[in-house]
Structures are given as structure tokens and as C-alpha cells.
Chain A
Amino acid sequence: MNINTTKIISLLFFIFSAFYLYTAYQIQVFAFDENAPFNARTFPIYLGYAGLFFSGLKLILPDPNNIKVDHKNLEYKKTGILILIAIIYGATILKVGYFLTTSLFLFASYYFLGERRWILMFLLSFPFVAAFMYLLHGILDIYLRDPFLQSIGVMG
């Protein structure tokens, strides 16, 4: 059996399905539902077995279309930074507020992707988010939580 990344992913999926199946068997159902033809754990159990079956087949059968990815050409660093910025954005959006965090997220993302036209970067972050916020909050009446704007009295 030739080991390639697709096989490793299939193995991981096999392990995941086994864990899913184990958890499915642990679902607590009501006593009167225990022997019912269908209860809360029936469908997940079928799914667990289906996952084991298909990933097992993928592991055993030969892979005619072995996908080779050239990792040297992949931009892991920039992608990692972008994900990190998105996580920080997600962590601060509720506490700080939509306007400031979103604007800073956009500004930082432009910067880390190599952009250096400062005026354009500014225009496409702070004023852009303000306009978008006005569309959602002001026109469409969709509530946007923003403690920062509330603290400086811009938002009611």
C-alpha cells in the first residue's frame, strides 16, 4: 500500500469516524426511547459506520490519482498571519466593537499582504467600514454591537 497524504487524510477521517461513532453510542436517550426503532443516536450511529466504511475503502484501495502538492511554492507564512489576524479580530469584535476591530483587521490584512498605498488602505478600511455599517445599521436596521462607538457617543 502506497502511503501518500490522501491516505493519511483518509486515516485521520477513519479515526475521526471511530471517535464520532463512540460518541454517538454515548448519547443519552430517554429510558422509554431506548428500544424505539429510531432515537437520537440512531442516525449518528449509521453515519459513524458510513464514515468508517468509506474512509476504510479509501485506505485499502489503490489511489489512481495521487495528488502531489509542491509545498515549497505555498505561502504558509502569509496564510498563517492572515489566520492569526482573523482570530484576533474574532476575539476582540465583541469587546471593542464592530467599527474599530473591522477597520483595523482590514488595514492589517492589506499591510501583511504586501500593500503599501497608505491612503487607499485607509480609505478601504475606516471609511469603507463606516459606510457599510451605515448600510446595515442605519438603513437596513440590523443591530451591530459596538461598545467603542457607544462609549464616544457616536452610536446610541
Chain B
Amino acid sequence: MIEGILIGLTTALTFQNILMVMVGCFFGTIIGMLPGLGPMTAIALMIPITYGFDPATGLILMAGVYYGAVFGGSTSSILLNAPGVPGTVATSFDGYPMAQQGKAGKALAIAAWSSFAGGTLSAIYLLFMAPSLSKVSLSFRSPDYFALMILGLTAIAAFSSKGQFLKAMMMVVLGLMLASVGQDSLSDITRFTFNNMNLTDGISFVLVVMATFAMSEALTIILKRNDPTSAAKQVSLTELGSIKINKEERTKMYKTIPRSSVIGFLIGVLPGAGATIASFLAYGMERNVVSDEEKEKFGKGSVNGLSAPETANNAACSGSFVPMLTLGIPGSGTTAVMLGALLGFGVQPGPRLYMTNPEIFWSIIMSMYIGMVILLILNLPLIPYIARILAVPKNYLIPLILFFSVTGIYVMSFNNFDIYLMIGIAVVATFLRLYDFPMPPLILAFVLGGLMEENLRRSLLLSNGSWEFLWDRTLTACILVTTILIVVWHIYKTFKKKN
């Protein structure tokens, strides 16, 4: 293995390859910041360019773009509450409030360091556990995935403080209902389309997330402009751009990062689960393990609340390479695009890649890590300048947020209907937010809706309609017991607090 690492390092550390990582990180960050253009699009855009290079250099460029785009997505989540990809939605829960308090630079720095640490730890896990974990990931069956989705949805417990549990559950159901619009994945029967062709393919994630987060945030700011209770705090540019993380905050991160990286990596290894579930689960778990005092800060700019999803998100990105490199199974959309690129280079990922093309196997792993190091070196000095986006007067910032939201949808569909639908959902979301209905559970449910139905379908069909599949397999039962324990623990803590 040491020999392999050295081969990877020798390949990755050439002048040309370091330059490629830097270019990739830079462009990835810019593309990732644009709504609707996530890591998958960024990598897809790079494929034609990479064919001019040898496989290792091409993949190194893509790794740089990938990490850059993930960081760019976190930046728009933190600064504008506009997560362009599902994996960075949880980042906005505490990142955006922190930015609103004048700590945008700090929030971006915490996100950057957490991503880096999550990536570092997961690269270590990847080095030592990739072959054995690929076997574990294959042992997951539909009932286990269904149970995992349920566990993911219990993360809503994290948003159900102050008597919000029922509101959060209503939002979960609404998110699942929105996800059910369009063609049924197996039978192709259309549902809830009301003979409207525009709804046949369902509602896109970017549309829902832009409507419920970015657009409704912009409308809420305008709506509450004269509200004395929500008057924006005036902050100096120095304060806004400060990236200094104090000792207390570092201590919190030291505790959060290891546990979130483990959750992120393990979830990332499972095909189809990916960074979204990982970041939500890490956020929910973190909220359950911190002190009561810290718990109160969740959703209002908690360091733990920001660090956990960012760590898990990046760890899951590395984890998703396990099934791709060792089994040839892409665990996410992004790795599917990378798999396509690998095949284009004439490289067949799978158990034999390790033996037939060790320089590619190891240079991918090493370049991913080097990509993260370069990203940190490049982006940390830029944070004070990026954070100044928030210093743009609201009269300009609000129309620009609306413009980015509409452009994100327009570029995807070239369809007026989608723009109207987005405005409609944004208006409803703004009204719901006024009355404290939380939006994160809606987004989580919307993302998981399709997967959840698919796995429930398979489980019920295999068990002839019997719900026994929930306890037939030890793994399923264990996940469900964990879910029940989390809910019971949450209810117990709430009850104890009331008394």
C-alpha cells in the first residue's frame, strides 16, 4: 500500500497536475456558487476538456473541480441561503444565520476547515477500509435502505424544538407529496399532474430548494423590511470578513469533526445514499449529542451545527468513491459522471483496477486529497472578499438573489411554467415561514421521497405485501431501533425540560 501511495503522490505532485488541481478548484468554486450548477454539472462540463490529457491528469482536474464545486455550493448556502445542491442544504441551517449575525467570514472559514478535516479523515478511511467496506455496502437491501430513509427523516427531530414537532411533520408530508408529482418510476403512470405535460417529469430539486430557501428568503426580507424586531444588524466589513476562529469554537469543532466524518463516510459508501442524507444525519446526530445550552443555538448560528454537515458532506463525497473504484458502481450522480469519464479514458473501475492500473487508483485517491489541500490554500485568503457579498445593499442583493434563482430554473428547463411554479411555491413558503413552519424537513423529505417509495415498493413486493420486512433482517431492525431510540430520547428530553 505504501508503494501505491508513493506512486499516487509521484503522479499527483507533478507541476502540470498541481496546476490542473488549482485551475479545477478555481472554476469549480465559481460554478458551484451558481444556483442549479452543482458538482455534477461542473464535472460534466470538464469532461470534453479532460480528454486532451492522460487519464491521471484528467481525473486530477475533475477532482479539483469536484471539491471546488462542493465548496462553492456551501458558499452560496451560507451567504445567500441558496443551496444549489441537496448536499449543502444542511449547511445553510446554521451557516446562513451566522452570516446574518455578521460572521460570514467565520462561517465560511469553519465550513472550509470542516470540509478539509472531513475530507482528510475520510481519505484515511478510504485508504484502509475501501475493499472491506465495498462488501458491506453490497449487503444493504431495500428494507435497510427504507429504514435508513426513516432514520434520515428523524433528523426532523432536530428542527422540532419549541413545540414545532407537528409543524415539522406536516412539512415532511408536504415534501413527500411534492416528490410524488410526476411519472411513477416503475409503471410510468402519471400522478398529480392534472394533465399538465410540464409536471410529467416531476418537480425539480433546484426549483423547490430555490423557491423555499433563496426566493422565499428574499421575499421575507422585503416583507419584514420595516419590522423593528427583524431589523438587520449593521456590521463592519472587517467583522464580516474576519476568518478568525477562536479557541472555544475550535474546541467545538475538534469534537464534532471526528464523529461527523465517520457518519458521512459510512453513509457515503452506500450506493444511492450520498452526501444529502449524510449531512442531514450528521446535523441531527450532532444536535442530539451536544449540551442543552448548545442545542438551543442550533438553527441560530451554531458552530457545531455548521461544522457537522460540512464535515459529513465532504466525507460522504470521498466515501462515494468506494463503490465506484472497488466495484464499478457509482454511489451518486457525481460519481456516475466520473465513472463515465473513466470509461471514456479506457479505464474500467472494479476489483481489478487496483491491480491493473495502480497508478490511476492511487493517483485518484491522492489527487482528491491534494485537491482539498489546494482548495483550502486557494480559498481561505479569498474568504474575506467573498464574504463581502453580504455588504451589498439589500436593494441590489434581493433582485440579484431572485435573478440567480430564476436563472437556475431557466437554464435547466427553458420553461415558463417552472418559473411560475417556483414563484407560487416561494409565496406559500414565505407565508409558512412567517408562522414558523420549518422548511428544512420539507426539503429533506422531497429529496428522500423518490428513494423512499422505491425501496418501500421493493420491500413490500418481495415480502408479498407483509410489513414483516421491517424486522426480518437484523440490519433493518437495528436501524429502526436506532430511529425509535432517537425519537424516544428526544421526547424524553423535551418532557424532562418541561417539568
Contact = CB atoms under 8 A, between A and B. Distances in A.
State yes or no: do A and B come from one complex.
yes
Interface of A: 5-6, 9-10, 13, 17, 20, 23-24, 27-30, 33, 36-44, 47, 50-51, 54-55, 57-58, 61, 63-65, 67, 69-70, 73-76, 78-79, 82-83, 86-87, 89-91, 93-94, 98, 102, 105-106, 109-110, 113-115, 120, 124, 132, 136, 140-142, 144-145
Contacts of B436: 6, 65, 67
Given A40-B186, A136-B411, 13 more contacts: A13-B170, A40-B187, A44-B191, A47-B176, A47-B177, A67-B434, A73-B228, A76-B223, A79-B219, A79-B222, A82-B222, A90-B419, A115-B396
B461 A37 contact: yes
B226 A110 contact: no
Contacts of B430: 79
Contacts of A33: 187
A54 B170 CA distance: 6
Given A54-B170, A109-B398, A124-B396, A90 B423 contact: yes
A33 to B, nearest CB: 7
A64 B227 CA distance: 24
B163 A65 contact: yes
A58 B170 contact: yes
Interface of B is mostly: helix
Interface string B421-444: 001000100101011110000000
Contacts of A58: 166-167, 170
Contact of B461 (A10, A36, A65, A78): A36
Contacts of B176: 47, 50
A58 B223 CA distance: 27
B461 A93 contact: no
Contact of A29 (B174, B189, B416): B189
Given A54-B169, A86-B402, A37 B465 contact: yes
A146 B420 CA distance: 19
A94 B416 contact: yes
B400 interface: yes
Contact of A10 (B163, B170, B407): B170
A110 B435 CA distance: 28
Given A90-B423, A94-B414, A39 B187 contact: yes
B224 interface: yes
B457 A38 contact: yes
Contacts, number: 171
> Which of B173, B224, B437, B457 neighbours the largest number of chain A CB atoms within 10 Å of its CB?
B173
Contact of B410 (A78, A98, A106): A98
Contacts of B396: 110, 115, 120, 124
A75 B394 CA distance: 14
Contacts of A109: 398-399, 402
Contacts of A98: 410
13 contacts: A17-B173, A28-B189, A44-B180, A67-B436, A73-B227, A79-B219, A82-B402, A90-B420, A102-B403, A102-B407, A110-B396, A115-B393, A140-B45
B159 to A, nearest CB: 14
A57 B457 CA distance: 28
A36 B226 CA distance: 57
Contacts of A63: 163
Contacts of B403: 102, 105-106
- Those 3 A-B pairs whose CB atoms lie nearest each other, nearest first: A37-B465, A90-B419, A109-B399
B460 A13 contact: no
Interface of A is mostly: helix
Given A54-B169, A73-B227, A13 B174 contact: yes
Contact of A75 (B166, B222, B423, B452): B222
B410 A93 contact: yes
Interface string B452-477: 11001100110111000000000000
A90 B416 contact: yes
A83 B423 contact: yes
B236 interface: no
Given A40-B189, A82-B219, A113-B394, A93 B177 contact: no
A44 B452 CA distance: 12
Given A67-B435, A75-B223, A43 B180 contact: yes
Nearest to A62: B163
Contacts of A6: 167, 435-436
B162 A23 contact: no
Contacts of B463: 37
Contacts of A73: 224, 226-228
Contacts of B224: 73-75
A136 B395 CA distance: 25
Contacts of B460: 37-38, 42
A93 to B, nearest CB: 6
A43 B226 contact: no
B406 interface: yes
Interface string B66-97: 00000000000000000000000000000000
Contact of A27 (B163, B166, B191, B222): B191
B31 interface: yes
Interface string B189-219: 1011000000000000000000000000001
